[in-house]
Amino acid sequence: MSSVLSRINVDYEQPEMAGSCSTHHAWARVPPEPAPPERAALKERIRSLLKAKNAVMVSHYYVHPDLQDLAEETGGLVSDSLEMARFGRDHAARTLVVSGVRFMGETAKILSPEKRVLMPDLDATCSLDLGCPIDAFSAFCDAHPDRTVVVYANTSAAVKARADWVVTSSCALDIVRALKAQGQKILWAPDRHLGGYIQRETGADMVMWNGACIVHDEFKAFELQALMQQHPLAKVLVHPEAPADVVALADAVGSTSGILKAAREMDAPE
């Protein structure tokens, strides 16, 4: 494969303590697609290395299909970040190959501290993680000592360590409801859209870190409405990391696994 990688620049929001944001820049390397014979040879090499090194591969739903195929063909798993980490913890392999972004590798290591965790690219990361650096976040927590700190899984290990609770989008509503029932006030991070959804659903007293996912932030309600007009019989499934006006158009709102379940169970002709 050519070693020349094209590079794209990506803007993301860096929240400030006071709640405003400034724009920072990240970048991504995009490797060229290998030709079919080279791709087949690479996949075969990865298969044999996984076996020889007693390693298992876990891939996230949104990595390249080749990495998903490789995980499934070699006894690994394609899933969300928490299930990837749980699968790695319960598997006999001593080495976990985590194909996903950086916080997913860290989460796998938290659950399997005695295992070796390898990642295809340590520079692959997430705007929610990038936009919630530990020093600034810790100062934000210090400024709200009366609040229980609840953070989303899409954060660094250091931010997780600063939190009282770490939640996924599957369990966030239940955890916040339970904390509210105990009379606790919440400090939520890092995703303001997911936090806003939880606040609307639970009525909890929440202050938010002002982060966002650069991918979900691109989903616009007016574009979704245009798509809905083109496909009037289709159901709309939305992840709560999307902006509130997009969530408001959904037939079902849920985590990645919740969306998959809804797609299977909903009676939609397209």
- Residue 67 and residue 43: Cα distance in Å, rounded? 9
As measured in angstroms, the least distance from the Cβ of 60 to ligand SF4 is 8
> Which residue stretches of the chain are H helix?
36-52, 65-73, 81-90, 102-111, 127-130, 134-142, 157-162, 172-181, 192-202, 221-230, 244-247, 256-265
Distance CA 124, CA 197 (A): 27
By C-beta, is 61 or 268 nearer to ligand SF4?
Answer: 61
Give the Å distances, CA to CA, from 190 to 42, 136, 156, 228.
37, 12, 11, 30
**In the complex, what is the shortest distance from the CB of residue 216 to ligand SF4, in angstroms, rounded to a whole number?**
6
Measured at CB, which residue is nearest to ligand SF4?
Answer: 126
| Coil, helix or strand at residue 32 | coil
Residue type, 41: A
Q: Which is nearer to ligand SF4, 106 or 241 (CB)?
A: 241
- Could you list the residues that contact ligand SF4 (CB under 6 A)? 101, 126-128, 154, 213-216, 241
Nearer to ligand SF4, 83 or 241 (CB): 241
Please say which residue, 96 or 191, places its beta carbon nearer to ligand SF4.
191
Beta carbon nearer to ligand SF4, 139 or 215:
215
- Total Cβ atoms within 10 A of residue 65: 9
Whole-number minimum distance, CB 87 to ligand SF4, in Å?
A: 18
Pick 58 or 213: Cβ nearer ligand SF4: 213
